[in-house]
Amino acid sequence: MTDIERNNRIDEYLIGAMPEDEKAAFEKELREDETLRGEVEAQRTIAEAVQTAHLKNMLADVEADLQRKRILRRVITWTSSAAASIVIILSGYSIRQSNAIKAIGDMCFTELTLPVSRDGNSLDSLLTLAFSQIAVNEYSAAASALVEARLMIEDGLRVPAADEESRYRHALLRRHLYEVDWLEAISLMKQGRDRKARRLLNSIADSQSPYSEKAREILIR
């Protein structure tokens, strides 16, 4: 029997893979052969040492994995807390901005006078309706009236200004368009819609509107 075959038999015996009949014969040899007993004990010691080292490595890997999970949980907890804090801060800021723009919208509305609705003038009627709806916080109805008024104005401005009378009508329509913009801006401010209101206020501030200076004052607050 070669050394390799002998070692293989010892391995089979130690791991319990040896058939029962061979095992009985092998154990008989162990009782009779002191050298074989020494080899078996040596390989058993080596196997146990390897197994112990492997177990230690496994335990170390498990501990490292648990540590990573603990760190990850801490990071997630911290991130969640930080995110919640940011949301609270931003929410508070947003609420303050909303309340501030509402107050400005209320103030601007009190400075307006009710548009004069001339008999038979649909555009004047729409502006009067929008003003009245904003006064009672019916913003959807006001928005509908302003959209209709804007469309009417745009249609009128498409007509060529060929003479003095038509140029005068164009000037009136542009003035009404400025009024539509301002009423819409006030409506947005009164609703606390800060971003949309500021976009429109920027447009008004850059125009020839009689409300441009007022819009600039609001934007720098």
pLDDT above 60: residue 141:
yes
Task: Look at residue 211 in the predicted model and tell me its pLDDT.
Answer: 92
Q: What confidence category does residue 34 fall into, taking pLDDT thresholds of 50, 70 and 90?
A: confident
Helices and strands counted in the chain (H then E) = 8, 0
Q: Which residue has the higher pLDDT, 78 or 176?
A: 176
Supply the mean pLDDT for the chain. 79
Distance of alpha carbon 106 from alpha carbon 120, whole angstroms? 30
Task: Render pLDDT for 152-195 as a digit per residue (tens, 0 to 9).
Answer: 999 999 988 888 888 888 888 888 999 999 999 999 999 988 88
Distance from first CA to last CA of the chain, Å, rounded? Answer: 99
Give the DSSP letter of residue 65.
H
Gap between the Cα atoms of 174 and 166, Å rounded: 12
d(CA 168, CA 173): 9
* Residue 120 Rama label (left phi>0; alpha psi -120 to 50; beta): left
Name which residue leads in pLDDT, 218 or 7: 218
Judged by DSSP in three states, 39 sits in: helix
Task: Specify the pLDDT at position 89.
Answer: 43
Is the predicted pLDDT of residue 117 greater than 80, yes or no? no
* pLDDT tier, 199 (very low <50, low <70, confident <90, very high otherwise): very high
pLDDT of residue 118 exceeding 60, the answer is no
